Structure 1
Amino acid sequence: MISKADVVVIGSGGLGAATAYYLSKRGGLSVALVDKHEIGSQTSPRAAGMVSCARKSDLMIGLIKDACRKIEAFTEETGQPLDWVHSGSLKIARRPQDAEVIEDDFARGRRTGLDVELISPQEASSLNPFLQPTGVVAAMRIGDDRYFDPAQVAVGFATAAAANGAILLPKTDVRAVNIVGGTVIGLTTANGVIESPVVVDAAGAWTRQVAEASGIRVPLVPTRQQLIVTEPLDGVRADLPMIRIMDAAVYARPCQGGFLWGVYEETPRFFDMQSLGAGFDVKDMPLDIGVLHAAADEVKDQLPFLQTAKVREFRGGIPTMTADGHHILGPAAGVTGFYFASGCNVAGLSISPTVGEALAAWIVDGKPPIDLSPMSVMRFKDQSWSEDQLERDAAWQYRHFYGAV
């Protein structure tokens, strides 16, 4: 146990570990990465590991493009392994109104320099024969998209941060961030007090617990996400493009000779992490395979293999959703030295290299390298939201991650 640090990052998932790594690169800073569980062990390794570049705003497209470059250079930069495949993806519309969204995505993608192409349903099926053209009204190929092994990212960043001198403190439960006169002075853990002028709340599903223990409100909702990895299937290749079906919010990508697939369900289960108890681990999260069975039935005309593919792994994580679908990144309102890196909105791991570097710059230089105000918690400073409204809006953002009308 240490007694002080220049910066303490709470939470060693993708966002927290990346932030700790880029802080450790700055030199001259003592950095501690604290987690109540083992390092990088919770939601991050249970993610899908898919990078989606055709996003809803120019800001997100720019951040994701930068993250792609960092994913490609991950091993060279950190010295840690990261298996990734530049497969591209297919975005599929089954309704005319979603075809219009694809038209907008295409125009935005072309304007921002993405490799995008409008293709016919038959062309989409030829690129990935596991997708059937039945019921497809529009399709877009996104050549920039890729996927990676989600289990390697957070652990890789944390290991690289430690190599740069950062202190890793697993199994260290944070009780409260200590704030005096509106300024952070450190934090109290189950193992003792750490003095620090800067604390980053990157605690994932526990973000609200950490913040609210110090009297700071933050509007995000821990949300169950479930996925299946199938047994190997004849004809599956690692370079087959990923598939995203907009209105059903179903996704699939190659994985170890089979497919990894999941759904952003319409009525997701939310969690109050406090009520789950101090000993809760994400691996113990209650799962419901019926949700996946219903999703497979909904897309049986386009992805018939989901009806019969055998399940090799069924897993889930707890990403955090916000009311507007944007991350929560940067300083807390009215508290000097308290920063957030959360609100991943089911896309935190893929963007974590860029977010971590930006937040490290924000902390050290006093401002981010680009305008990240859409992600600032300051947008919620009136604290006028109700829990019911927050959950309704978060559920809508979850289901409509692919932009379906």
Structure 2
Amino acid sequence: MIDSADVVIVGAGRLGAATAYYLTKQGGLRVTLLDQHEIGSQTSPRAAGMVSCLRKSEIMITLITDACRKIEGFTDETGQPLDWVGSGSLKIARRPTDADVLQEDLNRGRATGLDVELISPEQAGALHPFLRSRGIEAVLRIGDDRYFNPAQVATGYAAAAAANGARIHANTRVLGIDIEASRVMGVSTPMGKIRTGAVIDAAGAWTRMVAGLSNINVPLVPTRQQLIVTEELPGAVADLPMIRIMDAAVYMRPCLGGFLWGVYEEHPRFFDMQSLGTDFDIKDMPLDRAVLDAAAAEVADQLPVLQTAQPREFRGGIPTMTADGHHVLGPSPDLRGFFFASGCNVAGLSIAPALGEKLASWIIDGKPGIDLSCMAPARFAGLEWSEEELQRAAAWQYRHFYGAV
């Protein structure tokens, strides 16, 4: 274990690894990346890997568009593999109120230069032979959307950061944060202390635990996300458009000759990571197949395949949700030298390339280059939620990720 670094990053998932890469690329800093598990082994490889370009604000569209460019050029830039498919997507409204939302999405997408158009349910069925038009009110085609292999992002960025000189330490817990005069001075690990003036909390589901080592409270909730990968199905080719059904919060994309699908359930399960113990691994997270069965039944008129396709894999991760649906990115207002890269709100993997670069700029130059105040931890100043209130707000953001009314 080294005894000093310019920046120590706690958590080697997609956000931590991407930030490590851009810190070494942009600033040539001495970066140490720590993870209490294997690199990129927790929630990141268990995500859906779907990129939704049409977000709820122009700043998010700007960031995800930048992330798309980085996904396209990932291998050329980092030297690491990343398999992706530019399939586009179909966003489906089954209620008139959600059709109105699609019209707003269309206007915002056109204003920001996205490839978007409203199409008929019959046209949507022609684009995707597994989709049935019954009960569909409106469909928005989004040509810019894509999907990628989620297992390759964190490991790819970590490998590229290591090639740039970053020190990578897997299976290494952070035991404490050394503080003097309200400033970060180092971190303690089982193998010794690392002197540093900057710590990034990118610990994913464990973000609150790491922040708690410095007596910092960050209002986010570790939330269970489950999905199924089906067996191969005739006609389930890789370039079929992804499908998102707004009110049911069900999504589906091609995967390995079958489909990957899941749901943002209305009453998600939350986790207290402290109570799970130090040996907990996300692969051991308890799953509930009944949640997926209920979701498949809810969209049976549109996607009957979800009730008949046999599962090949049933997996889950623990993304972090915030009360306002925005990421938590940037410096803590309570402790100099302490930064956050968390609060993924079930969209952290796809936008990680852009956020990692912005956070690196924030640390190197003192500013991210664009206004990211909507993500800044300082936005929580003066706001307090009970755990019950925080979970209720986070559950609403989770269920309404697709903008359903």
TM-score of the superposed pair, with normalisation by structure 2: 0.99
User: By how many angstroms is 1:212 displaced?
Assistant: 0.9
1:2-401 correspondence runs (5 A):
2-401=2-401
Preserved contact between residue 18 and residue 356 of structure 1 (Cα < 8 Å): yes
Task: State the one-letter code of the partner of 1:318.
Answer: I
Matched residue of 1:136: which SS?
coil
Preserved contact between residue 187 and residue 193 of structure 1 (Cα < 8 Å): yes
Give the Cα separation in 2 of the matches to 1:303 and 1:152.
29
Deviation readout 1:175-214 (Å, 9 max, x if unpaired): 1222211100011112221110000000000000000121
Q: Tell me which moved more, 180-189 or 74-83.
A: 180-189
Deviation readout 1:337-387 (Å, 9 max, x if unpaired): 000000000000000000000000000000111000000011101142211
Give the Cα separation in 1 of the matches to 2:61 and 2:303.
28
Task: State the one-letter code of the partner of 1:312.
Answer: R
Matched residue of 2:374: which SS?
helix
User: By how many angstroms is 1:26 displaced?
Assistant: 2.3
User: By how many angstroms is 1:38 displaced?
Assistant: 0.4
Give the Cα separation in 1 of the matches to 2:136 and 2:339.
44
Give the Cα separation in 2 of the matches to 1:129 and 1:94.
18
Task: State the one-letter code of the partner of 2:172.
Answer: T
Preserved contact between residue 87 and residue 147 of structure 1 (Cα < 8 Å): yes
Matched residue of 1:307: which SS?
helix
Matched residue of 1:375: which SS?
coil
Task: State the one-letter code of the partner of 1:161.
Answer: A
User: By how many angstroms is 1:27 displaced?
Assistant: 4.2
Task: State the one-letter code of the partner of 1:275.
Answer: S
Give the Cα separation in 2 of the matches to 1:157 and 1:274.
28
Preserved contact between residue 262 and residue 292 of structure 1 (Cα < 8 Å): yes
User: By how many angstroms is 1:334 displaced?
Assistant: 2.2
Deviation readout 1:294-335 (Å, 9 max, x if unpaired): 000000000000111000000000000000000000000121
Deviation readout 1:154-182 (Å, 9 max, x if unpaired): 00000000000000010100112222111
Give the Cα separation in 2 of the matches to 1:288 and 1:28.
45
Preserved contact between residue 211 and residue 218 of structure 2 (Cα < 8 Å): yes
Task: State the one-letter code of the partner of 2:127.
Answer: L
Give the Cα separation in 2 of the matches to 1:304 and 1:193.
56
Task: State the one-letter code of the partner of 2:280.
Answer: F
**Structure 1: which 5+ residue stretches go unaligned?**
none
Preserved contact between residue 121 and residue 133 of structure 1 (Cα < 8 Å): yes
Preserved contact between residue 216 and residue 334 of structure 2 (Cα < 8 Å): no
Give the Cα separation in 1 of the matches to 2:360 and 2:28.
13
Give the Cα separation in 2 of the matches to 1:225 and 1:385.
23
Give the Cα separation in 2 of the matches to 1:204 and 1:327.
11
CA RMSD of aligned residues (A): 0.6
Preserved contact between residue 27 and residue 364 of structure 2 (Cα < 8 Å): no
Give the Cα separation in 1 of the matches to 2:96 and 2:177.
50
Task: State the one-letter code of the partner of 1:104.
Answer: E
TM-score of the superposed pair, with normalisation by structure 1: 0.99
Give the Cα separation in 1 of the matches to 2:71 and 2:177.
32
Matched residue of 1:104: which SS?
helix
Percent identity of equivalent pairs? 71
Give the Cα separation in 2 of the matches to 1:124 and 1:402.
18
User: By how many angstroms is 1:28 displaced?
Assistant: 3.5
Instruction: Tell me how many residue pairs correspond in the alignment.
Output: 405
Preserved contact between residue 217 and residue 383 of structure 1 (Cα < 8 Å): no
Deviation readout 1:95-125 (Å, 9 max, x if unpaired): 0000000000000000000000000011111
Give the Cα separation in 2 of the matches to 1:153 and 1:256.
18
User: By how many angstroms is 1:261 displaced?
Assistant: 0.1
Give the Cα separation in 2 of the matches to 1:219 and 1:32.
26
Preserved contact between residue 82 and residue 149 of structure 1 (Cα < 8 Å): yes
Tell me which stretches of 4 or more aligned residues in structure 1 moved more than 2 Å: none
Task: State the one-letter code of the partner of 1:140.
Answer: L
